[in-house]
Chain A
């Protein structure tokens, strides 16, 4: 079964600093990969997805993620953090062609002024 691990349940960065949220998946066949963001008391919103050959995926709000097959990773980055980026971030995986998602446990991102 697919599984996904997010390293670090809580990440704290300064405003303007690089954001790096880590995600590793377990699958011998490259899956589909997603990052979602959840703001307090809201549902999840899709940031970006990897479903094709392009390994560097750009999403909304300046976020991007790179699919690295050799490392089974799909880390999320943003060059310069903004206070509005404070939220919980979830990495999710699905088998290719499947609709069901398996979510990681989430990483809470805090931005320090």
Chain B
């Protein structure tokens, strides 16, 4: 089905472990985004990408790494997870001309 998907939907990991959250979109949108949602903070931008091999930092990039080798995929890696990275992570995509971002269902990550 067309759309934007995230995997896994739920993840529990331990402090210090590396974890990768996956995001895949089927629209061939040029832009992709990663946000984290925390109570009282709304959504905050972690990283975004304007095209394959082009990425840039958002508001809260520390502790995260992204890559975009293909237009449709935008994985987010926590290199050494910390408890402060416990959150709900949303991926989104948009086409430049519309400025409308389409969101995935989210990944709930718990770091113990």
Q: Interface residues, chain A, CB within 8 Å of chain B?
A: 32, 34, 36, 41-46, 49, 51, 90, 94, 99-106
Contact = CB atoms under 8 A, between A and B. Distances in A.
Given A32-B99, A42-B105, A43-B104, A99 B94 contact: yes
B70 to A, nearest CB: 19
Interface in B50-86: 50, 58-59
Given A43-B90, A43-B105, A44-B90, A99 B40 contact: no
18 contacts: A43-B103, A43-B104, A44-B43, A44-B90, A44-B92, A44-B101, A46-B100, A49-B100, A90-B42, A94-B99, A99-B31, A99-B48, A99-B96, A100-B45, A101-B45, A102-B59, A103-B42, A105-B42
A67 B17 CA distance: 46
Q: Which 6 A-B pairs have the closest CB atoms?
A: A43-B103, A103-B42, A103-B43, A105-B42, A44-B103, A43-B105
A101 B102 CA distance: 12
Interface of B: 31, 33, 35, 40-45, 48, 50, 58-59, 90, 92, 94, 96, 99-106
A106 B43 CA distance: 9
A100 B50 CA distance: 10
A21 to B, nearest CB: 14
Nearest to B96: A99
Contact of B99 (A43, A44, A49, A102): A49
